[in-house]
Structure 1
């Protein structure tokens, strides 16, 4: 079943297509065949700019979680044999601080529809019954509607696509590594909670590279969106961390 035959979603997809195609036409004298790629970059920057207030709330939530971490560890130590009591106490603590363990997740959730629309726009040969002209655009010769996995498994092989994905993936992986090194908190001595276990810490560290894995499966246009997003996110986190620093860990 094609969900985009549902009238509201069909209208949304066609509207997004018209907006991106119109912006691409305006940029064509400047960027030529790569106008749609430049349009994707500008749309990404616009989306991220609109989410700046959410990013600020995310930084504040991270600051609050860091401040509450010692009290949470104490609750885990006291009630580790009573999971139900532990959950109640933790929720009560979050309520008393007017926050939640899920605070700050909105930026990720808010971007999911944008990535989904870009994925669909550069995947379908037709949009609302008319040809999808966005598929005629490329990024320095790499078609915006081709994914790296599709090219490698179904062909045809295209060197520009391989090079474009290579550059994007290098950027994403470097940003992920910087983010992991700068923003992953060091292990807390004496923390025997499940979240402090070596396996969990390794899993959380690996999550930083998940965007690179996801990028190889989506069309190049969506991979470009993800790349600009992770770079913006890193810069924004650095700036906001300076404005909302985490509390210094207690000295033992």
Structure 2
């Protein structure tokens, strides 16, 4: 996914994804390279603040779900670290292209929604 969001050409053709923007912020740029954006700093700040706020919300939701569904026999160190891992998406999103950050948001939200749905279902004992 990173390669798709950062390569100037795909299959010998210009990467059309990189020609699009979100409120003037190019999908091929990242927060780390936002200095070269011609849209101005306000759109960049708004787009990335919105992305990070949504990612933080999904990370919080995923973290709570992880705490709730960890087996009791989980080692103490893993039980402390596992709920913190969803917040790594915020760090990653600062360095990958905006398109990859949006993909990260959507895929993380979707997988957390799936985990929530499946965690709510009671497990049926196997019939003999």
Give the TM-score range, shorter chain: 0.7 to 0.9
Which of these two proteins has the greater Rg computed from alpha carbons?
1
| In structure 1, distance between residues paired with 2:123 and 2:46 | 39
Q: Counterpart in 1 of 2:117?
A: 239
Per-residue displacement from partner, 1:35-91 (whole Å, max 9, x unpaired)? Answer: xxxxxxxxxxxxxxxxxxxxxxxxxxxxxxxxxxxxxxxxxxxxxxxxxxxxxxxxx
Deviation at 1:213, TM superposition (A): 1.6
Alignment of 1:167 onto 2:37 = no
| In structure 2, distance between residues paired with 1:182 and 1:145 | 32
Alignment of 1:177 onto 2:60 = yes
| In structure 2, distance between residues paired with 1:130 and 1:179 | 38
- Alignment length, in residue pairs? 121
| In structure 1, distance between residues paired with 2:123 and 2:24 | 44
| In structure 2, distance between residues paired with 1:181 and 1:213 | 19
Q: Which runs of 5+ in 1 are unaligned?
A: 1-114, 247-252
| In structure 1, distance between residues paired with 2:56 and 2:109 | 11
Change (3 A) 1:232 1:123: same
Contact 2:18 2:28 in 1 (8 A): yes
1:196 to 70, 75, 92: 75
| In structure 1, distance between residues paired with 2:66 and 2:106 | 19
| In structure 2, distance between residues paired with 1:172 and 1:245 | 30
Q: Counterpart in 2 of 1:88?
A: none
Alignment of 1:223 onto 2:101 = yes
Q: Within 5 A, what are the aligned runs for 1:35-46?
A: none
| In structure 1, distance between residues paired with 2:64 and 2:13 | 47
Contact 1:135 1:145 in 2 (8 A): yes
Q: Which runs of 5+ in 2 are unaligned?
A: none
Contact 1:143 1:161 in 2 (8 A): no
Please, what is the CA RMSD of the aligned residues? Answer: 2.6
Alignment of 1:156 onto 2:36 = yes
Change (3 A) 1:183 1:212: same
| In structure 1, distance between residues paired with 2:58 and 2:32 | 22
| In structure 2, distance between residues paired with 1:232 and 1:133 | 25
Deviation at 1:136, TM superposition (A): 1.6
Q: Within 5 A, what are the aligned runs for 1:27-38?
A: none
